[in-house]
Amino acid sequence: MSTPAFRIRELAWRVSPDFALDIPSLDLPAKKTTVILGRSASGKSTLLSLLGRVEGSYFERPTALSGQVLLLLDGAPAPIDLLALSERDLLKQRLRGPTVGFVFQREGLFPGRDATENVTWPLMALGTPKAAAEVRARHALDAVGLGPDRQVATLSGGERKRLAIARAIALEPEVLLLDEPLTGLDPEALGGLRELLARLAAEGRTMVMVTHQREDVVALGDHLVFMDRGQVVLAGARAELGAELERFFAGQVPTLAPSGGPT
């Protein structure tokens, strides 16, 4: 595998009495698109939340969380241990937004603002002048095919998803994390947004995406991670896991054997 963007070591998180994340070792490649696959409640979104440090209350590290999630950035003198940083550290080092962008399943939009304001507000909060923020917002909204004056309350579910993607890409992050970004979109918007994500990947951006859609994997995936019950069952280049991917979409989902190995 190429140089990793994320290096996970001895990661353990008891999320609830019935579910725990347990990943002893996992590397995710830089400048590639990793797709995380698995049944519902297998831990896909939970892992993604840790990569973006948006777990728990956002403002304090969960007490049952241990291990390392290392972020390796171009030009950085050393890996950054994301789990060792406080919320203040994350903000001070601008590790959210300009460095790591996140598109949530629940979009987290500002309901009382229009599309342009939803995109410009995070930019201005990071110090971008209003005029420059509005230019970037316009480009991002054009890229996802959404009008600048649309009010959030009038948007369909698919349009809300498109606005969330616009807000993330306007920040021009080095790493983009996407939790089912193309679910619920109409066919016309779906094709255009897949092409947009493919262009972002071609620019050398690291992306990690959770999806249940075969078309997303085929169009975008370079690296695959299969999860089951909070653990990684299989991981590797898509070119090397073609047979496993076909079985997955045929309903034969890789699972953990009682011994802890894959079946």
Per-residue pLDDT of 148-165, as tens digits, reads 999 998 988 888 888 999
User: Can you tell me the mean pLDDT for 71-91?
Assistant: 88
Q: 35 pLDDT exceeds 60?
A: yes
Cα-based distances in Å from 30 to 3, 21, 180: 6, 23, 20
User: Can you tell me the mean pLDDT for 141-149?
Assistant: 91
- Give all strands (DSSP E) within 43-106, no chain letters: 65-71, 80-81, 100-103
Is 131 contained in some domain? Answer: yes
Long-range CB contact pairs, 76-84, < 8 A, 24+: 79/7, 82/50, 82/51, 82/53, 83/50, 83/53
Q: In terms of residue numbers, what domain contains 126?
A: 109-171
Q: Percent of the chain scored above 90 by pLDDT? A: 58
Q: 59 pLDDT exceeds 50?
A: no
Is 161 contained in some domain? Answer: yes
Least confident of 90-99, 126-135, 201-210: 90-99
Least confident of 40-49, 82-91, 172-181, 202-211: 82-91
Task: Please indicate whether residue 251 or residue 62 has the higher confidence score (pLDDT).
Answer: 251
User: Can you tell me the mean pLDDT for 55-59?
Assistant: 54
Q: Which two tokens stand for residue 210?
A: 């959770």
d(CA 175, CA 139): 19
- Secondary structure letter of residue 75 according to DSSP: T
Give the confidence band of 183 by pLDDT, cuts at 50, 70, 90. confident
Long-range CB contact pairs, 43-49, < 8 A, 24+: 43/19, 43/227, 43/229, 43/230, 43/231, 44/210, 44/227, 45/105, 45/179, 45/210, 46/13, 46/15, 46/21, 46/230, 47/21, 47/23, 47/227, 48/177, 48/179, 48/208, 48/210
Count how many domains the chain has.
1
pLDDT score recorded for residue 23: 97
**Residue 176: strand pairing partners:** 101, 207
Q: 58 pLDDT exceeds 70?
A: no
Cβ contact 115:141 at 8 Å? yes
Instruction: With H, G, I as helix, E, B as strand and everything else as coil, classify residue 129.
Output: coil
Give the confidence band of 262 by pLDDT, cuts at 50, 70, 90. low
Is 191 contained in some domain? Answer: no
pLDDT score recorded for residue 86: 85
Q: 25 pLDDT exceeds 50?
A: yes
d(CA 143, CA 158): 15
Is 123 contained in some domain? Answer: yes
Is 232 contained in some domain? Answer: no
Long-range CB contact pairs, 88-91, < 8 A, 24+: 90/53
pLDDT score recorded for residue 185: 78
Give the confidence band of 60 by pLDDT, cuts at 50, 70, 90. low
d(CA 7, CA 30): 10
Provide the CATH number for the domain around residue 141.
1.10.8
**Residue 225: strand pairing partners:** 36, 235
Is 252 contained in some domain? Answer: no
The number of C-alpha atoms within 13 Å of 41 and in the hemisphere containing its C-beta is 4
Q: 229 pLDDT exceeds 70?
A: yes
Is 117 contained in some domain? Answer: yes
Is 40 contained in some domain? Answer: no
Give the confidence band of 253 by pLDDT, cuts at 50, 70, 90. confident
